[in-house]
Chain A
């Protein structure tokens, strides 16, 4: 995007007067900062933003944004946001949710919003734990983890949020990391510019109940070698000096030289590669993918609804109270 005029907003315009109440050191602070910066960069008048959340630590987010905000009920933010967007497609509607909110109690709403391709942006803060209810295992918790509700280790198989989003048909699927602010902002911008449903998983650290859940991926000393950034049209490279590559063959995904690296595509017939790469084990030889898994254009529901209303109204004429009351088969009694 080329910004030709002076930005209409600065980051501070998006900072609300509410005192932020997350635990010191929570990954949510970094995300809040990045989102405020990103919103300022979009050049959208701030009254056009509606930030809608469910329940959980992450869902306190709207209180800290000086935009229209709606802290709703557990798991239902995508359903409420769907109504907001359909009623007023002119709004820039963002959903803030967590792994329990989006993938457990609200799973149904999330997958259907993805299927419908409403123009909503969903940021899922994944810390692999229930924070606000004090540390129970969540639908993304690694099996074996000891928590208050799984004192002998959790037995549940977790969801892979990226695989779920790809499977449910989200037209934009990305992953980023709370502390990697530039990457995070880049992904937020791409999500904003995408026409249709955007799903962004943000790996987020909970210092109290699941500290270090992602440090094997995100810790500064390892991240160059343990992350590969999926960039459309670019080769799959990683390492401190991008000295290693990944090659996707029909049977394997393997480490190779940069020259041998596959070019990443986020749409079209190679889309199946997104499924394959997102499901590689985190301790496998290949690094964990972040960045853009899928970005493709398909019809956007809120636009289609508007088009249908326009089309039917042109066909039948604008209805009035008089035409409404006098429609149908009538007879007179005199």
Chain B
């Protein structure tokens, strides 16, 4: 780290939100994740929100090609990547235009003037240069620098072409911010050294740019203040910075280790779920097989086949892919084989906004199949929570011999936060026993507690039997058209899924056990709700939070908890799907707070709604 100059004051702040924004080829995701990793090593609590376009390399400089990465790092316990950035780094006019309105008033605005030429401005549909507006320097702390010239100068000695040299400008910007927020360069230096081990010229250029950024900031007194954000008082333990999709993959592998089963993951590439496939494909030495199928249907079918043969079959997708899998899920419900189906939701319907987030597949997950076809549905609350939720999905699928849908979404799938690595001893194994006794074998005899049928895999002598999608006779599993049997089997399948709720831990309400308002949520809204509830509780409002991991079957104690609150507010990134379910199940007048903009809730936005519910303390 470059020591701050004496005359520049060092100011302690609790937390900072930085948004890096540039072209999708400008390396903004890399810049953001490096800042994040470095901050993680300093012990900050943090949360990130990568927001990128569907186009891999959109035409340079265009509005739809803007890629952003927001990171919030804090000395306190935080749950979201922050509402409004304190700092915006805009690498071109398009990034400026798309993001400037989000920047906090008085926030630090760093712009790369090197990319504010006439053509760049035209691509962002600016008739005049917005940097010429004198109001800009009034509203924000404006730092207008030609990062292109600075970068070319910094890496001159490497002899790289201008084009290649300019690729390093993101590191120059990163170096400047490392200086401004008192972060060391060594983590990123080590990372670059590993990444470009075989390209010494590129490595040299990147290192020069990074250090130049820090030096320019130190020597030219770009910043009036240098900030310090101390380590957060996180619980003791070992941490890893984890993205949600990565944590999910890790949880699925850990779950199969606890179940003592081989893992088979059949999947078809789809945004934003593909990273789960990528992560699992690297775990081959953990008894993991990945199969990139020809389509979504084959992906789930191959997983059902693998479960039939004695692996734990899994598949992963996003909303449109789940729609394609629904017929096969009906088969899995009928043949009562374990299966884990991951749905990293995105904004729909149809292709929708593939890189933007939404929670609108809840009712599809619960009911989107032909016939009476219940299955358990779980939802992860945060990037790190994807791990524990994945473990639960594996436990439920194997214990109850049922397909399970695990809901995540683009926001937590791509977002990251510190993950407290659990100790091996803290994870309780649930080893699976395949059926082997041929005496009186009945494929649809049931465990009296769980109602699970035996898992009898091909290759086991004496257990030859036939499964299929035709209705089964109770106990024997033979094909049956008997009307009473059909009704009994539908009830049995329903009852089996309901019994999953007996294995849940009691609900934990955050805040008072009785209050004026309960904010009920599920999935990725957890952090924003927690932030809003904290704020409102600090204001003295009578509000509590309850967040559901198990969305189906609903927890048995949920009805009683809901009755303890005068009002129940349900914020969701959909048009009120959980709210309909809660109203139908418990006959309470739950208030829906829907949002469908492809963006997560902001804590401040939710706090305003809570306040307005509690006698209009805030705006509606």
A residues lining the B interface (CB < 8 Å)? 16, 18, 45-50, 52, 55, 62-63, 66-73, 76, 79-88, 90-91, 108-109, 112, 305, 308-309, 312-313, 315-322, 324-326, 328-334
Q: State whether B293 touches A79 (Cβ < 8 A).
A: yes
A86 to B298, CA, bound (A): 13
User: Which of B302, B458, B479 contacts A86, CB < 8 Å?
Assistant: B302
Q: State whether B306 touches A72 (Cβ < 8 A).
A: no
Given contacts A48-B459, A322-B424, contact A76 B236 (CB under 8 A): no
Please, could you name 19 A-B residue pairs with CB atoms under 8 Å apart, sorted by A?
A47-B464, A48-B459, A69-B464, A71-B469, A72-B469, A82-B302, A83-B264, A83-B305, A83-B308, A84-B309, A91-B309, A112-B298, A308-B284, A309-B285, A312-B285, A319-B283, A321-B258, A333-B234, A333-B236
Q: State whether B421 touches A330 (Cβ < 8 A).
A: yes
Given contacts A70-B308, A108-B294, contact A309 B289 (CB under 8 A): yes
User: Which of A67, A70, A81, A84 contacts B468, CB < 8 Å?
Assistant: A70
A109 to B422, CA, bound (A): 41
Contacts of A76 in B (CB 8 A): 297-298, 301, 328
Q: Provide the B230-249 mask, 1 if CB < 8 A to any CB of A, else 0.
A: 01001111111100000000
- Whether a CB of chain A sits under 8 angstroms from the CB of B286 is yes
A169 to B415, CA, bound (A): 42
- Top 8 nearest A-B pairs (CB, nearest first) are A83-B305, A71-B468, A83-B302, A79-B301, A319-B286, A79-B298, A87-B309, A68-B458
Given contacts A87-B289, A319-B285, A324-B250, contact A81 B305 (CB under 8 A): yes
- Whether a CB of chain A sits under 8 angstroms from the CB of B257 is yes
- Whether a CB of chain A sits under 8 angstroms from the CB of B590 is no
User: Which of B231, B253, B306, B427 contacts A83, CB < 8 Å?
Assistant: B306
A313 to B287, CA, bound (A): 9
Contacts of A319 in B (CB 8 A): 253, 283, 285-287
Q: State whether A87 touches B310 (Cβ < 8 A).
A: yes
Nearest CB in chain A to that of B290: its residue:
A305
Q: State whether A68 touches B469 (Cβ < 8 A).
A: no
CB distance from B309 to the nearest CB of A (A): 4
Q: State whether A86 touches B289 (Cβ < 8 A).
A: yes
Interface positions, chain B 245-299, Cβ under 8 Å from A, are 250, 253-254, 257-258, 262, 264, 266, 283-287, 289, 291, 293-295, 297-298
Given contacts A47-B459, A321-B258, A329-B240, contact A72 B421 (CB under 8 A): no
Nearest CB in chain B to that of A53: its residue:
B468
User: Which of A48, A79, A112, A331 contacts B43, CB < 8 Å?
Assistant: A331
CB distance from A110 to the nearest CB of B (A): 10
Nearest CB in chain A to that of B420: its residue:
A333
Contacts of A328 in B (CB 8 A): 240
Contacts of A320 in B (CB 8 A): 257
Size of the chain B interface, CB-CB below 8 angstroms? 71
Given contacts A62-B466, A63-B479, A86-B291, contact A330 B238 (CB under 8 A): yes
Interface positions, chain B 188-247, Cβ under 8 Å from A, are 231, 234-241
- Whether a CB of chain A sits under 8 angstroms from the CB of B131 is no
A144 to B465, CA, bound (A): 42
Contacts of A90 in B (CB 8 A): 459
Q: Tell me if B's interface is mostly helix, strand, loop or mixed.
A: mixed
Nearest CB in chain A to that of B429: its residue:
A321
Given contacts A87-B306, A108-B294, contact A69 B285 (CB under 8 A): no
Q: State whether A69 touches B479 (Cβ < 8 A).
A: no
Contacts of B422 in A (CB 8 A): 325
Contacts of A87 in B (CB 8 A): 262, 264, 289, 305-306, 309-311, 313
Nearest CB in chain B to that of A80: its residue:
B305
Q: State whether B298 touches A333 (Cβ < 8 A).
A: no
- Whether a CB of chain A sits under 8 angstroms from the CB of B327 is yes
Contacts of A85 in B (CB 8 A): 305, 309
CB distance from A53 to the nearest CB of B (A): 8
A331 to B458, CA, bound (A): 45
User: Which of B250, B254, B257, B306 contacts A84, CB < 8 Å?
Assistant: B306
Contacts of A313 in B (CB 8 A): 284-285
A330 to B237, CA, bound (A): 10
Contacts of B234 in A (CB 8 A): 333
A86 to B43, CA, bound (A): 44
Given contacts A45-B461, A70-B468, A331-B40, contact A321 B289 (CB under 8 A): no
Q: State whether A332 touches B238 (Cβ < 8 A).
A: yes
Interface positions, chain B 437-460, Cβ under 8 Å from A, are 457-460
Q: State whether A83 touches B266 (Cβ < 8 A).
A: yes
Q: Provide the B589-606 mask, 1 if CB < 8 A to any CB of A, else 0.
A: 000000000000000000
Q: State whether B302 touches A324 (Cβ < 8 A).
A: no
User: Which of A67, A69, A73, A108 contacts B331, CB < 8 Å?
Assistant: A73
Q: State whether B240 touches A71 (Cβ < 8 A).
A: no
CB distance from A303 to the nearest CB of B (A): 13
List 20 additional contacts besides A325-B254, A331-B239; criterion CB under 8 Å.
A47-B462, A50-B309, A63-B466, A67-B464, A71-B467, A73-B330, A80-B305, A80-B308, A82-B302, A83-B291, A83-B301, A83-B303, A83-B307, A86-B305, A91-B458, A91-B459, A313-B285, A319-B287, A321-B254, A324-B283
Contacts of B385 in A (CB 8 A): none
- Whether a CB of chain A sits under 8 angstroms from the CB of B13 is no
Contacts of A315 in B (CB 8 A): 285
Contacts of A72 in B (CB 8 A): 301, 304, 331, 468-469
- Whether a CB of chain A sits under 8 angstroms from the CB of B535 is no
Q: Provide the B410-424 mask, 1 if CB < 8 A to any CB of A, else 0.
A: 000000000001111
Contacts of A81 in B (CB 8 A): 305
Given contacts A69-B467, A87-B306, A325-B421, contact A47 B240 (CB under 8 A): no
CB distance from B458 to the nearest CB of A (A): 4
A47 to B179, CA, bound (A): 68
A253 to B541, CA, bound (A): 90
Nearest CB in chain B to that of A325: its residue:
B421
